[in-house]
């Protein structure tokens, strides 16, 4: 075999080994619209779906797949296996024991609030402080109110503390995302804890539903900045390094964020998009 022929044979073999050596990222998606939208006409167009698509397209040195799992299972996978990533990760101390977080935020979302039917909002005026926020201590003292939340979705320290000790309120913890908002719509509960964009999504899917609104909760941050989290292993470390490189180059907010504005009121989205407030 001539040197040239040997080179021609060697090049495809080299490329095959390079492809085979590519590391793989398994992105975990959870059924929690409009973060991830897994079914219906708008499947794949959720806020986090767009983020994963953007990052995957930029991270060509990895292969990518998505896997559906409940939120609790998602974090168990991050703990158990290398190469597992979650794109809408709230930075919680217990998760940092086994997960690596990106330095840059990938998203900005309004922090969870009190969701109520608009025609019942005046009932909650007595629980508001001078800033118009819900005082959870006062709210919890009213044992007549029925409430619900999604069970495996972190809602911030203030609401979590209230949820764990809210003995005087009838607070149901529901396993299926969207069920609390549906129960609120039908009048089966008086309020729910959740994200304002859950209302927007529900109204888009059920245009004849009752109008609902979100009231801020005292002590709760106004905005959460979820980051990307990956397994604390060789692949996860390299993935986080690439994510920070990409998001650092993209600037704030990143390009895909503009398309998520449809899930927010215009004023809220302008606040979420404020460049100066995004973590650097």
Q: Give the per-residue SS3 of the chain.
A: CCHHHHHHHHHHHHHHHHHHHCEEEEEEECCECCCECCCCCCCCCCHHHHHHHHHHHHCCCEEEEEEECCHHHHHHHHHHCCCEEEEEECCCCCHHHCEEEEEEECCCEECCEEEEEHHHHHHHHHHECCCCCECHHHHHCCCCCEEEEECCCCCCHHHHHHHHCCCCCEEEEECCCCHHHHHHHCCCCCEEEECHHHHHHHHHHCCCCCCEEEECECCCCCEECCEEEEECCHHHHHHHHHHHHHHHHHCCCCHHHHHHHHHCCHHHHHHHCCHHHCCC
- 117-215 to CATH, choices 3.90.320, 3.20.20, 3.40.190, 3.30.70: 3.40.190
23-110+224-258 is classed CATH 3.40.190.10: yes
Domains 23-110+224-258 and 117-215 share a fold: yes
pLDDT, position 70: 92
Position 277 scores a pLDDT of 79
Q: Please identify every stretch of the chain with a pLDDT value under 70, giving residue numbers as ranges.
A: 1-21, 166-169, 280
Tell me how far the alpha carbon of residue 111 is from its chain's centroid: 11
Q: How far is CA 26 from CA 79, 100, 230, in A?
A: 13, 15, 9
Contact 236, 230 (CB under 8 A): yes
- Cα 84 to Cα 27, 68, 73, 150, 247, distances in angstroms: 6, 12, 12, 24, 19
With beta carbons less than 8 A apart as the criterion, state whether 103 and 244 touch: yes
Q: What are phi and psi of 244, to 5 degrees?
A: -65, -35
- β-bridge mates for residue 21, sequence order: none
Give the tens place of pLDDT for each residue, 60-89.
999 999 999 999 999 999 999 999 999 999
pLDDT value for 9: 44
Residue with tokens 């402080």: 129
| Per-domain residue ranges of the chain | 23-110+224-258, 117-215
| CA 15, chain centre distance (Å) | 37
pLDDT at site 164: 84
User: Looking at residue 2, what is its pLDDT?
Assistant: 54
pLDDT at 279: 79
């Amino acid at each position: 075999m001539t040197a040239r022929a040997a080179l021609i044979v060697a090049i495809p073999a080299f490329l095959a080994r390079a492809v085979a050596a590519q590391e793989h990222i398994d992105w975990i998606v959870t059924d929690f619209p409009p973060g991830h939208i897994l079914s219906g006409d708008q499947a794949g167009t959720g806020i986090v779906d767009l983020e994963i698509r953007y990052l995957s397209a930029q991270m060509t040195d990895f292969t990518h797949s998505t896997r559906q799992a409940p939120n609790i299972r998602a974090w168990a996978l991050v703990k158990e296996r290398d190469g597992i990533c979650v794109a809408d990760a709230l930075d919680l101390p217990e998760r940092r024991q086994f997960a690596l977080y990106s330095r840059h935020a990938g998203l900005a979302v309004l922090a969870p609030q009190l969701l109520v039917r608009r025609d019942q909002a005046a009932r909650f005026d007595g629980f508001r402080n001078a800033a118009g926020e819900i005082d959870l201590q006062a709210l919890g003292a009213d044992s007549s109110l029925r409430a619900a939340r999604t069970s495996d979705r972190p809602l911030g320290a203030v609401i979590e503390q209230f949820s764990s000790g809210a003995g005087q309120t009838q607070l149901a913890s529901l396993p299926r995302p969207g069920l609390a908002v549906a129960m609120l719509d039908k009048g089966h509960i008086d309020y729910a804890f959740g994200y304002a964009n859950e209302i927007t999504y529900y109204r888009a899917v059920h245009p004849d539903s009752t109008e609902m609104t979100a009231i801020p909760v005292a002590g709760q941050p106004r905005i959460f900045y979820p980051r990307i989290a990956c397994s604390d292993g060789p692949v996860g470390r390299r993935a986080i390094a690439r994510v920070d490189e990409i998001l650092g180059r993209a600037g704030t907010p990143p390009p895909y964020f503009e398309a998520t504005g449809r899930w927010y009121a215009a004023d809220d989205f302008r606040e979420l998009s404020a460049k100066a407030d995004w973590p650097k």
